[in-house]
Structure 1
C-alpha cells in the first residue's frame, strides 16, 4: 500500500524541535517494558459471554507479539501491508497491533458492528491483505460474512478466524506455532521495523458525504497525544486502565491499548458492556482509570447505587463523545467517588481538550475542557476571522497529534498551509480557554458515542419504493445523548411504518446501530425556496414533540 500522508513531512521539523514528536514507536515502548518490568501483569482480557479470562505479563506479551509477527510474515504480510482487525476487546486485538508493528504492517481496526455494506468499502479502499475476525460474536457469524465478501476483494488473501477450528484459525496460523523460534525469526523481526513517521494505523471515520474516510496516523502523531493526555490525568505505571469502549474506536485503541504500554501500566479489557461485570472487574483488578461515553457512565453510576457495591479503586472516569449532563456528574461523583473528566476529540487527533483533575466539577458539564499541550484551538466566523471569547463559530485546531491525511483523499484533508484543521464542528471558547461544542456543521448524529453517517442512511432510504423524501435527524435521549429519527414523505398511494423501514435497512446490510429508532411520516418537508430540506426545523419540532 502506498500511503499519501502528505500532512506529516511539512510539520516534522517544528514538532520535533518543540519536543512534541519524540520519535518513539510502540516497539520501543514494549521493549522498554520487557527490560524494566518483564514479570509485571500487562494485560487482562475478559470475555463476558464465556467468562474466560486471559492474562499476559510484559515478557509474555512481547513473546506472543513476536510469534504472531512471524506468523503474519508467513502469510505474506510485509512492511506497509494492511491487516484489518474486526475483533471486540479481546487479547487477540492488542496482540495483532503489536505483531503488525514488529514487521512494519499497518493495523486497520474495524468496529464489530460493521456488516457487508461498510466492510466491502473499507476493505477494498484500504486494500487489506489479511482480515482477522471472530468466528462468531454475539450470535453473528463473521467468518461467513467475510468469506462471502472475499471474492469481490482482490487484495484480500487471508481470512483468519478467532475461535475457529480449521486451517484458517488464529491459533493454527498465528498464536499456536512457536514461530519466534524459527531460524529466520530474528531477521523477520528486525528487518522491517517501522520508523516513527511511518503509518501505523488506518482507521475509518463515519462518512458525512456518503463515504467513510481512512484516517492515517503515525507513531509520532499518536504518541504526541497520549503523553500529554496521561500527564494531565496524572496517570503512571501504578495505574490499571479498564477499557470497555471498543478498541476499534480511537478511545479504546489509543488509551486502552497503547497508553498502558507507554506508561508500563496494566490494561484490563471488557468485550461486552455489562455494568455489573465492570464493577466486578474494577474491584478484582483494582482499576483506577477508565474512559467511555456517557451511557457507560450512566450505567455504572446507576448500578453502583442500586447494588451498593462500591468501586473504591476507581479514581478517574473520563467521559467523551457527547456533553455530560450536570445531574449525571453529580450522581456519578456521589456514587463512584471518582473524578469525572469531560473531553472532546476526533479520530483525526485523539483527545483535543480535557478538563483538569483540579477543576471544579461544573467545568465537566459546562465545558469540554481546555487544549492539551501541543494543541491550539480557535473559533472563527464565516470569513475565517477569529471571534472573541463566548462567541460561537467554526472550530479550527492545530495539533501535534493531527493525522497524516485521509488515504487517497488528500483533497478532503481540510488542513490549510498554516496547519489549521477545520474540524467541521461549531463551538465557543470562554475567557479561560475552555471549549464548548455547540453544534456540528457536518451532518452526523452521535448515538452513545457512535457516529451515525446520516447521508449514507438517507441515501438508502431514498431507494425505498414507498419513500419520496427522507431526512435523518437527531432527537435527545437521556442515556445515549442522541438517537436517530427518520422523517419521511411517502410516495402517493404508499404507506410506510417503522418495522417495514427497519427491515428494509437491515436488508441493505447496514450496521444495526445506524438504523433509525423512530419514524415520523409527513405530507411535506419544511424546505428552502430551492427545495433543500430545513433540518433545523425538523429538529425543533422533534424537541417540541410537534413533528
Structure 2
C-alpha cells in the first residue's frame, strides 16, 4: 500500500523547528515505561456484564506484543500493510497495536458497531490483509460476518479471532508460546521497519454520514502533538488513572485512552463497553482521576453515582466533547460527582483542538467549547472566505501541528488550502477572549426564509426544561420557506412533553419567537454513534422521507 499523506511534508520543517513534532512514537514512550517500571500495572481491562478483570504489567505487554509481532510476520504482514481491528477495548487491542508499530504495519481501528455495509467498503478501500475481530461481542457473531466479508475481499488473507477456536484464534495465531522462537527475527525486522514518527501509523474512517466513509491518515507526530498540549492544559501526569469506556476504534478512545497514558506513564483502565453502574464502581475501586466521553455518559454517571452512593471523589476531570453540555447537567454533575466538567471540540482529522482550562469558571464549559491548544490556529470565515470579527458566526477553519495527513486515495477531498487551512465543516463564533462556540455543522444549519436559526442555542434553552433528557433540532422541507425546524425530544423517565409545553417554555425563556421550532417529535431515543454523538442526518432523512411521501 502506498499512503498519499500529502499534508505532512509541507509543514514538516516548521513543525519540527517549533518543537510541536518531537519525533516520538508510542513505542518510544512504552520503552521508557518498560525500563522504569516493568512490573507496574499498565492496563486494567474490565469486561462489562461479567465484571471479569485482568491486569497487565508493562513487562507482560512487552512479551506478548513481541510474540504477536512474530505471529503477524508468519501471517505475511510487513511494513505499510494494513491490519483492521474491530476488537473492543481490552489488553488484546493494546498488544496488537504495539505489535503493528514494531513491524511498521498500519493499524486501522473500526467500530464494533460496523457491519457488512460499512466494513466491505473500508476493508476494500484500505486493502486490509488481516482482520482482527472478537468471536462474539454483545450478542453479535463477528466471526461469521468476517467469513462472509472475506469471500469478497481479495486482499484479505487472514482473520484473527479473539476467543475463537482453531488456527484463526487470536490465542493460536498471535499468542502461541512457540512464536517466541521467531521473536529474535521479529526484533531484527523491527529495527529496520518500525513505524517512524512521520509515517502513517493509523488509518481511521469517518462515519460516512454523507457519501462514502473517508480514510483519515495520521502519524505519531500529528497525534502526539495534540496530546502534549491537551495533557498540559489539563494538568495530567504519571499519577493519573485514565478510564476509557468510549471505543478505542474511535479517536476519543484511541488517542486519549491508549496513546496518552503511555505518554504520561499513567495507568489505563479499559471498559469493553459502557455500563453506568460498572463505571461508577470502577471509578471508586481504582481511584480513576480522568475520563473523556460525550454528554450522555456524563448524565448516566451522575445519575448512577447519586443512586448508588458511590464514591467518585478521585475523579478530578470529566471531559465532554461532541455536543453542548446543558448547564443544569454541569451544575448537577459538579455537585454529585465533585468533578470538574471540561467542554471541548475536535474531529477525527485533528483530535481535540479546543478545550476550557480547569481553572475556568463552570460557565465556560456551559457556554463555550474552549480555546485553541498551542500549535493550532483557528479562523472564522464568511461565505466569501474573509475572516469574520469577534462574535459573528461563520465557517470554522483550523491549521497546525495535529492536522491529519489527508484522506487515503482521495486527496481531492482534503479540504486544505495552500496555506494549510482545513475546512472543518463546522460553524462557530469566537468571543473576545478567544473561546469558541460550535453552532452546528454546515449541513446542520437550518435556513428558514433566508434566516439562519441558532440551533445550538435553542437546544441549550430546551435542555433547561426539567422533563427533557435529550433534544435535537433539525430541518425539514417546506415549500414556502425552504426549511422549518423540528425538535426531536426524549423525555426523562416518567415524564411527558408536548408541543404546547415547548412553546410555553421557550416563551418563558424570552427566546425570539422566530426561533421557535414549528414541530415536535417525542421519541424514546435518538440515533447516535457509539461515542454518543447524535446522528442528525438520520433525523433529517426521516423527515425528508415523510415529506416526500406526503407529496406523492
TM-score w.r.t. length of structure 1: 0.83
Any idea what SS the aligned residue of 2:128 has? Answer: coil
**More deviation, 10-19/302-311:** 302-311
Q: Return the alpha-carbon distance in structure 1 between the equivalents of residues 536 and 278 of structure 2.
A: 23
- 1:305–1:219 Cα change, 3 Å: same
- 1:517–1:414 Cα change, 3 Å: closer
**More deviation, 262-271/173-182:** 173-182
- 1:74–1:370 Cα change, 3 Å: same
Alignment of 1:250-289 (within 5 A): 250-289=251-290
Q: CA deviation at 1:59?
A: 1.4
| Structure 2 unmatched ranges of 5 or more | 446-454, 457-471, 475-483, 493-534
Any idea what SS the aligned residue of 1:152 has? Answer: coil
Q: CA deviation at 1:472?
A: 12
- 1:278–1:318 Cα change, 3 Å: same
| Structure 1 unmatched ranges of 5 or more | 447-451, 455-470, 480-511, 532-547
Match of 2:96 in 1: 96
Match of 2:357 in 1: 356
**More deviation, 516-525/291-300:** 516-525
Partners of 2:111 and 2:249 within 8 A in 1: yes
Any idea what SS the aligned residue of 1:397 has? Answer: strand
Match of 1:374 in 2: 375
Partners of 2:209 and 2:537 within 8 A in 1: no
Any idea what SS the aligned residue of 2:443 has? Answer: coil
Alignment of 1:134-533 (within 5 A): 134-182=134-182, 183-442=184-443, 475=488, 477=490, 524=547
Q: Return the alpha-carbon distance in structure 1 between the equivalents of residues 178 and 298 of structure 2.
A: 42
Structure 1 residue ranges, 4+ long, deviating more than 4 angstroms after superposition: 443-446, 471-474, 476-479, 512-527
Q: CA deviation at 1:284?
A: 1.4
Q: Deviation string for 1:196-247 (max 9, x for gaps)?
A: 1000100000224310000000010010001111111100011000000111
- 1:123–1:522 Cα change, 3 Å: closer
Any idea what SS the aligned residue of 1:317 has? Answer: strand
Q: CA deviation at 1:274?
A: 1.1
Q: CA deviation at 1:40?
A: 1.5
**More deviation, 57-66/130-139:** 57-66
- 1:199–1:519 Cα change, 3 Å: closer
Partners of 1:342 and 1:368 within 8 A in 2: yes
Q: Return the alpha-carbon distance in structure 2 between the equivalents of residues 368 and 20 of structure 1.
A: 23
Partners of 1:70 and 1:188 within 8 A in 2: no
Q: CA deviation at 1:524?
A: 4.6
Q: Return the alpha-carbon distance in structure 2 between the equivalents of residues 513 and 53 of structure 1.
A: 36
Q: Return the alpha-carbon distance in structure 1 between the equivalents of residues 16 and 352 of structure 2.
A: 20
Partners of 1:71 and 1:174 within 8 A in 2: yes
TM-score w.r.t. length of structure 2: 0.82
- 1:178–1:372 Cα change, 3 Å: farther
- 1:275–1:415 Cα change, 3 Å: same
- 1:184–1:524 Cα change, 3 Å: closer
Partners of 1:380 and 1:387 within 8 A in 2: yes
Q: CA deviation at 1:515?
A: 6.6
Q: How many residues align?
A: 480
- 1:185–1:173 Cα change, 3 Å: same
Match of 2:72 in 1: 72
Q: Return the alpha-carbon distance in structure 1 between the equivalents of residues 161 and 226 of structure 2.
A: 32
Partners of 1:352 and 1:372 within 8 A in 2: yes
Match of 2:125 in 1: 125
Q: Return the alpha-carbon distance in structure 2 between the equivalents of residues 190 and 73 of structure 1.
A: 14
Q: Deviation string for 1:494-523 (max 9, x for gaps)?
A: xxxxxxxxxxxxxxxxxx999769966987
Any idea what SS the aligned residue of 2:396 has? Answer: strand
Partners of 1:301 and 1:335 within 8 A in 2: yes
Match of 1:11 in 2: 11
Any idea what SS the aligned residue of 2:211 has? Answer: coil
The CA RMSD measured in Å over matched residues stands at 3.0
Q: Return the alpha-carbon distance in structure 2 between the equivalents of residues 440 and 288 of structure 1.
A: 32
- 1:521–1:235 Cα change, 3 Å: closer
Q: CA deviation at 1:363?
A: 0.2
Partners of 1:113 and 1:513 within 8 A in 2: no
Q: CA deviation at 1:185?
A: 3.3
Any idea what SS the aligned residue of 1:438 has? Answer: strand
Q: Return the alpha-carbon distance in structure 1 between the equivalents of residues 255 and 408 of structure 2.
A: 20
Q: Deviation string for 1:425-464 (max 9, x for gaps)?
A: 1000010000100011135999xxxxx9x9xxxxxxxxxx
Partners of 1:217 and 1:404 within 8 A in 2: yes
Partners of 2:104 and 2:190 within 8 A in 1: no
Q: Deviation string for 1:6-56 (max 9, x for gaps)?
A: 000000000001100000011111111111121211000011133221111
Partners of 1:225 and 1:350 within 8 A in 2: yes
- 1:478–1:336 Cα change, 3 Å: farther
Q: CA deviation at 1:283?
A: 1.4
Q: Return the alpha-carbon distance in structure 2 between the equivalents of residues 16 and 162 of structure 1.
A: 39
Any idea what SS the aligned residue of 2:434 has? Answer: coil
- 1:377–1:92 Cα change, 3 Å: same
